[in-house]
Amino acid sequence: MTYRELYRALRAQLEEGGVDAPAFDAACLLERFAGLRRGGLPLKGAEPVPPEAEAQALRAVRRRAAGEPLQYLLGEWDFLNLTLAVGPGVLIPRPDTELLCETAAARLKGMGPPEAGRPLRVLDLCAGSGCVALGTASLLPGLAVTAVEWSEEALAYLRQNCARYPGYSVEPVKADVLHDAGRFPGGWAAILSNPPYIPAADLPGLMPEVRREPRLALDGGEDGLCFYRAIAQDWAGKLAPGAFCAVEVGIGQAGTVAALLQGAGLEEVEIFRDLGGVERVVLGVRPAES
């Protein structure tokens, strides 16, 4: 079978399975298992597909049609200027989260250059794949980032991604954001987080693909706010004077999370909208010492 013929067959299977973007997914999977660069499929149209690559692509498409996330089948996904390893057990990086990295990097840059030999220290809570930690570090080289994650499965991907980008100073640490704040020192230039924020009662109604992602990365407790409360109550006080906390939030949560940060003594609270106009990032600043 040629690449063109196999691509059409894969696309047809995905269309029949009700996949949202069958053409894109078929191309991604065929390129992945044929060892082609992204976008290289059109150049191979009339050439025969190696039998092993054909078999792997067909198996992957059956799994995709059954609802397995494309990103898990590919084993990696792009985020900002990074390509991160992902798979079952870790939350898939999403474009919405890039706003958190961009907002944090811009604010950190505005703090001015760090003292010689003393890089700005950043704490990323609920780090997952490391997309926020590595993404922010990639936008502003020279940071020293500590990435905190509790899940062993997610930690494996976090460590793999940190090893993939050794030029960025990101240290994975296993800890529970809800209970282990006492293990960590203060003096952070920024505390960042994209925590679980979906109310527990809403989890069964998520799209089937999203339900394949780890519950630990999605479940924000009864009202979706338990991690924000912990960040405000237990972690915000660890900021250096003049430093900031920035978190990603779900739809409709920004005002409540802003109030939580204000209640923790943070000032200059701002809400940032993503490209879709959704209030997506909330940022608050610890007052400078007088």
Domain membership of residue 227 (yes or no) is: yes
pLDDT score for 36:
81
- Percent of the chain scoring above 90 in pLDDT: 88
pLDDT at 101 over 50: yes
Decide which of 39, 66, 93 is a domain's last residue.
66
3-state secondary structure 56-113: HHHHHHHHHHCCCCHHHHHCEEEECCEEEECCCCCCCCCHHHHHHHHHHHHHHHHCCC
**Interatomic CA distance for residues 46 and 251, integer angstroms:** 46
What is the average pLDDT across 213-219? 96
In a domain, 165, yes or no: yes
Look at residue 290 and tell me if it is in a domain.
Answer: no
Flag whether pLDDT at 6 surpasses 80: yes
Please say if the pLDDT value at position 114 is more than 70. no
Judge if 89 and 37 occupy the same domain: no
Report the CATH number that the domain containing residue 242 is assigned in CATH.
3.40.50.150
- What is the spatial distance between Cα 289 and Cα 187, in angstroms, rounded to a whole number? 13
**CA quadruple 50, 54, 60, 64: dihedral sign:** positive
**Whether residue 104 sits in one domain with residue 62:** no
Parallel, antiparallel or unpaired: strands 121-125 and 82-85? unpaired
pLDDT of residue 141 exceeding 50: yes
Same domain, 44 and 83: no
31-35, 106-110, 191-195, 227-231: least confidently modelled range? 31-35
Rounded to whole angstroms, the Cα distance separating 215 from 150 reads 13
DSSP letter, residue 237: G
Whether the predicted pLDDT of 118 surpasses 90: no
Q: Could you tell me if 147 and 226 lie in one domain?
A: yes
Q: Say whether both 33 and 137 belong to one domain.
A: no
The mean of the pLDDT values for the chain is 95
Residue 199 belongs to a domain: yes
In the predicted structure, residue 290 carries a pLDDT above the cut 60: no
Please give the residue range of the domain that contains residue 36: 3-66
Q: Indicate yes or no: pTM above 0.85.
A: yes
Given 22, 42, 66, the domain boundary residue is 66
| Per-residue pLDDT tens digits for 57-69 | 999 999 999 999 9
pLDDT (tens digit, 9 = 90+) per residue, 230-247?
999 999 999 999 999 999
87, 52: one domain: no
How does residue 272 score in pLDDT terms, banded at 50, 70 and 90? very high
Question: Average pLDDT, stretch 220-228?
Answer: 97
Instruction: Kindly state whether residues 62 and 81 are assigned to the same domain.
Output: no
194 and 262 fall within a common domain:
yes
- Would you say residue 167 lies in a domain? yes
59's CB contacts (< 8 A; 6+ apart) are none
79 DSSP β-pair partners = 82
pLDDT at 115: 67
Structure tokens that stand for 244 in this block: 């900031």
Indicate if 182 and 277 belong to the same structural domain: yes
217: which DSSP letter?
Answer: G
111 compared with 56, residue with greater pLDDT: 56
The confidence band for 116, taking pLDDT boundaries of 50, 70 and 90, is: low
Asked if the model's pLDDT at residue 17 lies above 60, the reply is: yes
Domain count for the chain? 2
Any domain includes 72:
no
Which structure tokens are listed for 250? 């779900």
Task: Please report the pLDDT score of residue 289 as a whole number.
Answer: 74
Task: Give the pLDDT of residue 112.
Answer: 74
